[in-house]
Amino acid sequence: MTRITSLKQLGKGSWKIASITPIKKPTVSKPATESVIHTILFAEVIKRWPQAVSEYPAQVPGRKFRLDIAFVEEALCCELDGWQWHARHLEDFKKDRRRQNLLVMQGWRVLRFTAADVHQDLEGCLSIIKTALDMKP
């Protein structure tokens, strides 16, 4: 077996590829900070309101969405917005706004919380949710 010691030798094709393994596509997942804020908020929500559902598959004609936290009977959802996932790029920001408009047109009330909201004022977030649940649509 010839040892390649220069780029010139490499270019001459004096080597063989033993096997070619296809590269797996990376799976897209929420950054760790967002799953943490979701876990923190949902853990507190479910203690107070057992009817809450995590990652609820909301159907909008022609679209499918997963709502971070949903109160299905009350048509209320909580969306968690972290910088890395929802605001880093302008197109992501616009997509979230279109999505929210579609949900509202289907009768959903949408509450939005940032990672900072959950980390710095969890009780305030829960108070907002309670107020929204107490309001009759």
**Structural domain boundaries in the chain:** 24-134
CA distance 133 to 4: 70
Q: What is the pLDDT of residues 2-43, one digit of tens each?
A: 666 666 665 655 445 544 545 554 444 444 445 888 999 999
Tokens of 100: 């929210």
In the sheet that holds 109-114, the strands lie side by side as 53-60, 63-71, 76-81, 109-114
| Tens of pLDDT, residues 67-112 | 999 999 999 999 998 765 445 677 777 888 888 999 999 999 999 9
What is the CATH T-level fold of the domain 24-134, as seen in this structure? Endonuclease; Chain A (3.40.960)
